[in-house]
Amino acid sequence: MKAVFYLNDQGVGIYSDDCKSLSSPLFFDWEDTLAIEEWLSTFPSRGQVSIVIDLVDEDIVVEAYPKLYLWERSAIRKQLVERLESEGADFIYTEWTGLTQTNEEGRVDELILSASIMAPAHIMNFISSLEEAEIIVKGIYSAPFMLADYFKKYVKNVFNLTKKEMNSPFFIISRQSKNTYRQTFFYEGQLRISRLIEIEKEDDDFQGIQSALIHEAKLARNYIYNQNLSGDNHAIGYIFLDNDENCLIDMDQRCLDEGLVTSQEELQNALFKALTFNSLGYEQVICNVDPKEYYAAEAMADYVLNASPTKSYFNDYVKKINAVLLGYRSFIGFNSLLLISLIGFALVFGIGTYLDQHKLELLDQKIQEHKVEKDRLQKEVKLQTDAKKIKASVDFSEAILGLKSDRTMGFNVEPISEVFSKHEHVQLNKLEWKQIDRFDSNTYEIDLEGWVFPFVEYYRDPVKWVDALMDDLRKLPNVKQVDLTQEPLNRNLKQALTVLTKDETVTALEFKIKMRVNDAQSK
């Protein structure tokens, strides 16, 4: 039996092409641990599975390095992997893109792409449970990279895209499940960024779904332009993949009406396509899927079972299984047909012996992990001020920027978020608010805390950056008062928070702002 386990933040979906063993797809919430364990106990021992990981917290980064000789690249790649491992990544993938860029100093840099996942405990426990159940995990895939591969092999041919169109900047906006979509940005034929978004609309509110998707696409487009990821503000194309064709009707006109596409000329020149997964026309092999429930997850499961996509992530278990399988295939290539049955027996016996030994190693490993965790908890008294704290503030700032605020906070937070996104030297650390006067008052007092960086010897730049932030906040509608309650520097003395990391020193200054907002629409 072959199966695909599709892991997302909600739970695990299970798909198979063996309809006798699995008549239809299954889905378990992560809270249903007993149900998951019970089902795994029924899975055939030595059954082969592939794992697709589709999580919000998957970091995809493109970094630039001075042009290197071929023999120097492996060292850079090794350093990158070690750095990501030191930051706590459980799964890491890196590749040289083959692309270059010219920096501000005129130097030609090469680009390397990395993806990493700091997996939650329930994900790691689930993968460990597969090892304990002696289930053969043939590969672990990243959903964004698999979608990119899927697009190049299937969707490209359906749309008859030219090489020029493939190298242009464009988004693929794909529906992952009932309420989630993934925005994946491509430029020069390479994946650059990918993120999950959630749309909270009724199933039959097709226009509402379209408007919400267009709004999220605008935010992503602005980010691309602000970060100069598309080069000279080229027109960005859009490809919409959905399970329901009603969500795609007149999508081009809606994008034009709502400003995602600025003109009819841009709509004609930029890449713009819309199609359902179910109508792509390639062979579907997973069992008994309702066409209305055929999302990207189902399409990726079909793709894994149909083809042999490039594996993204590896752990020790997968590496050893692949080594055994590779040896098996090599052995077949150099021996006669009379030995095939013996080789098959040797393969099963070899994997069985390894799995039994691996159980013992896994038990010892868990014992050691429990000891390490016990020691850590005993020694840990308080959080240390280090680079992780700055990362936490960055995550908090990005969470604020991605917040869908339909005035659940009492006031419109989105303009404030957009102001912070424009100031690259400022990171938001804390935001608190309270209602002034009566319980139905329109006036809110907002306290903001953050860091301004880098601070090197002189106060002029940090003060200038915070003053510029204050000016932009005062320009916001409904803002009545903006006061700096704690300056980043007292303008006479050096007072900085110095954070030491493994490779560098980050110096930042803390500041506090108090705002008063009179939002007449808050009620």
Rounded to whole angstroms, the Cα distance separating 171 from 182 reads 10
Do the domain assignments include residue 523? no
- Strand-pairing partners, residue 109, are 66, 101
Say if residue 63 is in the same domain as residue 212: no
Rounded to whole angstroms, the Cα distance separating 263 from 240 reads 19
DSSP 91-110: EEEEEEEEEEEE-TTS-EEE
End residue of a domain, out of 119, 148, 172: 119
Residue with tokens 């026309």: 281
Q: In the chain, what is the greatest distance between 2 CA atoms, to the nearest angstrom?
A: 89
Reference 171, options 161, 182, 162, 180; nearest CA is: 182
* Domain count across the chain: 4
Say if residue 286 is in the same domain as residue 367: no
Structure tokens at 142: 């990243």
**What's at 382, amino acid-wise?**
K
Do the domain assignments include residue 203? yes
Rounded to whole angstroms, the Cα distance separating 503 from 505 reads 7
How many residues in total does the chain contain? Answer: 523
For the question of whether the overall pTM of this predicted structure is more than 0.85, the answer is: no
183 near 194, Cβ under 8 Å?
A: yes
Task: Output b/e per residue, 197-209; b: 16+ Cβ within 10 A.
Answer: bebebeeeebeeb
Backbone angles phi, psi at 34, to 5 degrees: -65, -40
Say if residue 397 is in the same domain as residue 476: yes
| Helix H or strand E encompassing 334 | none
Say if residue 149 is in the same domain as residue 40: yes
End residue of a domain, out of 66, 92, 119: 119
Q: Which residues contact 494 (CB under 8 A, 6 or more apart)?
A: 457, 459
Q: In the β-sheet with 272-276, what is the strand arrangement from edge to edge?
A: 190-198, 180-187, 170-175, 237-242, 272-276
405 near 219, Cβ under 8 Å?
A: no
Say if residue 21 is in the same domain as residue 83: no
DSSP 210-223: HHHHHHHHHHHHHH
**What's at 210, amino acid-wise?**
Q
Rounded to whole angstroms, the Cα distance separating 484 from 418 reads 19
Mean pLDDT, 10 residues at a time, over the chain (523 residues)?
Answer: 92 92 92 92 86 93 88 90 92 90 85 92 91 88 92 86 90 93 92 91 89 94 85 82 92 92 87 87 82 90 88 83 60 57 67 72 74 66 51 58 52 82 86 74 85 74 88 89 83 49 63 84 49
Do the domain assignments include residue 464? yes
Distances (CA, A) of 174 to 55, 86, 159, 274, 357: 15, 33, 15, 10, 42
Say if residue 398 is in the same domain as residue 457: yes
Say if residue 406 is in the same domain as residue 329: no
DSSP 424-435: TTEEEEEEEEEE
Do the domain assignments include residue 160? yes
Say if residue 228 is in the same domain as residue 285: yes
Rounded to whole angstroms, the Cα distance separating 145 from 59 reads 12
Let me know if 353 is exposed, middle or buried by CB neighbors in 10 A (0-12, 13-18, 19+): exposed
Say if residue 459 is in the same domain as residue 361: no
Structure tokens at 107: 């130097």
Do the domain assignments include residue 311? no
Say if residue 107 is in the same domain as residue 154: no
Reference 466, options 510, 413, 517; nearest CA is: 510
Count of CB atoms situated within 10 Å of the CB of 158: 14
Say if residue 129 is in the same domain as residue 98: no
Report the pLDDT value the prediction gives residue 31, as an integer from 0 to 100. 94
Backbone angles phi, psi at 503, to 5 degrees: -115, -15
430 near 449, Cβ under 8 Å?
A: yes
Do the domain assignments include residue 233? yes
End residue of a domain, out of 265, 281, 306: 306
Alpha carbon 493 to its chain's center:
42
Do the domain assignments include residue 478? yes
Rounded to whole angstroms, the Cα distance separating 5 from 129 reads 13
| Helix H or strand E encompassing 116 | strand 108-117
**What's at 370, amino acid-wise?**
H
Rounded to whole angstroms, the Cα distance separating 485 from 514 reads 6
Rounded to whole angstroms, the Cα distance separating 313 from 58 reads 12
Q: Which residues contact 205 (CB under 8 A, 6 or more apart)?
A: none
Say if residue 80 is in the same domain as residue 25: no
3-state SS, one letter per residue, for 442-458:
CEEEEEEEEEECCCCCC
Distances (CA, A) of 267 to 157, 259, 261, 270, 397: 21, 11, 6, 6, 33
CATH of the domain at 168: 3.30.420.40
First to last CA, the chain: 57
CATH of the domain at 494: 3.30.980
Do the domain assignments include residue 36? yes
Structure tokens at 402: 């991605």
* Domain residue limits at 364: 316-379
